[in-house]
Structure 1
Amino acid sequence: MHRKKEILIMITQKYPFGYGEVYLDRELQYFSEAFDEILLYPLRKVANERPVPSNVQINELFCSRSNKVNKGYAIKKLFAANKILSNEIKFAASGNEYVKKNKKEFLAQVLMAYELADTFYDSFKEKIRDTSAKFYSVWLDEGALIMSMLKNDGRLDSFVLRLHGYDLYDSRREGGYMPFRVYCFNQVSKVFVVSKNGAEYTRGLNICPEKVMANYSGLHDHGLTAEFDGVIRVISCSNLLQLKRIHLIIKALKEIDFPIIWKHFGDGEQRTELTRLAKELPDHIKWSFEGHVSHDNLMKVYTDEHWTCFLHMSESEGLPLALAEAMSFGIPVIACDVGGVSEIVSEKEGYLLPKMVEPENVSSIIKEISTDHMLQKQLSINAREKYLKHFNAQKNYSSFVQLLREFG
């Protein structure tokens, strides 16, 4: 019997451009082995294009869009667009005033999405003829809205989407509102949420609970961090944004009275302010903001030197894989208990702190783990075991491929 060609069609935010969506590097490795061809549609294009497997085609049609909706097209789709907005106002109780206030902007977004949906469909409709095609929106964003429109008018049979943190929790969005979630949830076949905490939150929204499934991403095994060499080193890795609360790390380190090396990887809008604060650290605290580095280079950093602990003070999260990645090297984690963090870190692998933690509490924990080498060793062993059990790439992505085939 002739096997149908298997094609996976994905919409990302920027990937393979930029430095974000790092987990897609790993996903694509497994997808490229499972599917004959992958069509990748980023919504935006920025600098730094990353390599992808040979059977992945990048289509930049969304990147070259016009910022204006064709007038004739707007008239044609006005009724349908207003219907979507009316339903949003009706069901999105937490944000309906925000929708009413910004109705013109939201209407323009819907009309633009309708136009892009047609262009998107035309770009692949011939290619998927007589194939088994699966559709995957990596975020609950414009990509999910576009796929929802195609599902609603019968041009797609089904699609799936992932939920993370920024596209899940209302508190992280302007106006406390997630645009077009109601419409997308009605159309999607399955919603894969990156944490159990997020899955429970999602089931409390306007969605059939059976559509929701917690699904962890996976991480490759790069081995262990280097053996202890007598130097205390702490590391952190995140965007330099206010919600990441890097200033708490700086304040905590200010209380340390012995030599420590601190390196932070990642960049962002708060770099200037955080650099100013870090310059106030005492001379025995050696620090550096390393900026964005490639994932391969970051993995080398973890293995080339011994790291005493990984610090993460964020006030809001989905499931921060940077923590699980550090643990894969046997690095204990000190983090605040927000979002899905407790699914990665417990007292067995590190320290789980209250959201409103004081810098003095963080500094006392750094002192404890830095001076008690037996404790540090046991936390390191447990951290590594937690990674192998729950966040191993081979196990998690093999399972996700089967779910894509079933629901995509």
Structure 2
Amino acid sequence: MSMNKIIVLPGTADAVFFLNEVDYITKYFDEVIVISYPGNKHTFSKIAEQKGFKYYVVNTNILGSLLNVHFYKWLFSKDTIKEIRKTFAFTKKDFSRSLYIFYYGIFYISSKKYIDREIEKNAGENLYLYSFWLTRGAYTVANYNINRKGNVKKLISRAHGYDLYEERNTTNYLPFRSFIDKNLDEIHPISEHGLNYYKNKYKKSNSGTKKTISRLGTYNPNSLKKTIFNKEKICIASCSSITDVKRLDLIIDVIANIEIPVKWIHIGNGKQKSQMELYAKEKLKDKDYYFLGQIDNSDILKTYIKYDVDFFINMSDSEGVPVSIMEAMSAGIPVMARDVGGLSEIINEKNGYLIRNNIEFEQVYSGVNSFIKQRINKIESYIDKSNESIKFWNERYNSNKNFNLFFKNMLQEFNGNNIEVK
């Protein structure tokens, strides 16, 4: 009997999204092979040993690629020439787009030797190629539909945020969209918003690629839940990289305008950390706040309990459906966030506060104050929102339910029928 094996392109082998799924991947597949971006090899090896997969690290060496005959076969293929012609011009933006195409190609060529080796070595087994992102990994996977080997059973990619929404990229461009759409068997946006965006963006596509929602999820194995008691000072948490799109400046503005005693904690690092620390020092002179830096994913819920977090806040310019929000809700922490991406699918009036984008800042501050004052003045209402957060997480974003269903469906023979995940 043939074994089922999977080649996974997760970004890095220690990426939090991959770590959330890896136990399910190893549960459903006899062997797991990971094609990783460069990173901490000691960490990679430790995780690989613990979780039971093998991995290759892809170093995208430009000089090495230029000396590789496969690079020139790729460069002069009709699909690459078509993509270059589509973007070629003498403007700075179009030059950047052309470089983006080469970036995809070099990653594909650098990954190819490892994937080819596994396909040849496992000629009698069932092989599945799975990219976690609809970018370089998905393009690499899609190339295996060309001269496809019989042991390659499915070519699959998820789609999240920056890898799906073209306007989130500085050049408003993602390479090889048509090629990817035509050559993958399945594309799985993680939200209804993402699915509708993709279908509308590529509605002229005649590909037979199956496109369905496959929601992500998080763990709360110890059923950690915040304890609710009367208090006079609330705690608000945020968790993200500290980058432009995450808009910590807006979070700081909101915290600065809260009218009751408040403490704010932020989990995560990023290139804007020093800048945001200075901004917080300027704006939050009468508030308590802590930049906690990077915290291991397994300790995030414990941190929320330790600091007795009452609310979670997200003010990003763009999102898919953030895992950070799922985590907070699983512990009974109501969320307030801007209405971007798929956030309206996870936040509603029963479990949190969705901030509309067409209102003035003063209305935002007023709405936030009304919402969080329930914690002090209407504790029963707050308890209801806490319970609804847990209930909604369990129904929609419980990893055990979502990942089991995703990988069960992945192992079904492809027959072109849509299986909607609710």
* Alignment TM-score > 0.5, same fold: yes
Deviation at 1:88, TM superposition (A): 6.7
Q: Cα distance 1:150–1:260, how it changes in 2: closer, same or farther (>3 A)? A: same
Map of 2:309 onto structure 1: 307
Q: In the alignment, residue 188 of structure 2 is paired with which amino acid?
A: F
Q: Cα distance 1:365–1:22, how it changes in 2: closer, same or farther (>3 A)? A: farther
On the 8 A contact 1:244/1:315 being kept in 2, the answer is: yes
Q: Cα distance 1:187–1:99, how it changes in 2: closer, same or farther (>3 A)? A: farther
1:163 to 159, 162, 174: 159
Deviation at 1:356, TM superposition (A): 4.9
Map of 2:142 onto structure 1: 148
Q: In the alignment, residue 12 of structure 1 is paired with which amino acid?
A: P
Map of 2:173 onto structure 1: 177
Q: Does 1:199 align with 2:195?
A: yes
Residues matched between the structures, number? 398
Q: Cα distance 1:243–1:356, how it changes in 2: closer, same or farther (>3 A)? A: farther
Q: Cα distance 1:8–1:96, how it changes in 2: closer, same or farther (>3 A)? A: farther
Map of 1:212 onto structure 2: 211
Give 3-state SS (helix, strand or coil) of 1:240's partner. Answer: coil
Q: In the alignment, residue 211 of structure 1 is paired with which amino acid?
A: K
Map of 1:293 onto structure 2: 295
Deviation at 1:143, TM superposition (A): 1.7
Q: Cα distance 1:378–1:111, how it changes in 2: closer, same or farther (>3 A)? A: closer
Map of 2:374 onto structure 1: 369
CA distance in 1, matches of 2:241, 2:85: 33
Q: Does 1:225 align with 2:226?
A: yes
On the 8 A contact 1:134/1:159 being kept in 2, the answer is: yes
On the 8 A contact 1:198/1:340 being kept in 2, the answer is: yes
Give 3-state SS (helix, strand or coil) of 1:158's partner. Answer: strand
On the 8 A contact 1:148/1:188 being kept in 2, the answer is: yes
2:392 to 386, 393, 406: 386
On the 8 A contact 1:199/1:214 being kept in 2, the answer is: yes
RMSD of aligned alpha carbons: 2.8
Q: In the alignment, residue 29 of structure 2 is paired with which amino acid?
A: F
Give 3-state SS (helix, strand or coil) of 2:39's partner. Answer: coil
1:354 to 351, 356, 368: 356
Deviation at 1:331, TM superposition (A): 0.6
Q: Cα distance 1:111–1:340, how it changes in 2: closer, same or farther (>3 A)? A: closer
2:52 to 37, 51, 55: 55
Give 3-state SS (helix, strand or coil) of 1:58's partner. Answer: strand
Q: In the alignment, residue 25 of structure 1 is paired with which amino acid?
A: L
Deviation at 1:117, TM superposition (A): 5.0
CA distance in 2, matches of 1:310, 1:11: 31
Deviation at 1:203, TM superposition (A): 1.0
On the 8 A contact 1:10/1:38 being kept in 2, the answer is: yes
CA distance in 2, matches of 1:287, 1:78: 52
Q: In the alignment, residue 175 of structure 2 is paired with which amino acid?
A: P
Q: Does 1:79 align with 2:81?
A: no
In structure 2, runs of 5+ residues without a counterpart are 415-422
CA distance in 2, matches of 1:258, 1:325: 26
Report the identity percentage: 24
2:243 to 241, 244, 248: 241
Map of 2:270 onto structure 1: 268
Q: TM-score, normalising length from structure 2?
A: 0.86
Aligned counterparts, 1:1-20, within 5 A:
3-16=1-14
Q: Per-residue displacement from partner, 1:236-263 (whole Å, max 9, x unpaired)?
A: 1111112211112211222234321110
Map of 2:418 onto structure 1: none
Q: In the alignment, residue 353 of structure 1 is paired with which amino acid?
A: I
CA distance in 2, matches of 1:14, 1:173: 20
Deviation at 1:128, TM superposition (A): 1.8
CA distance in 2, matches of 1:102, 1:280: 37
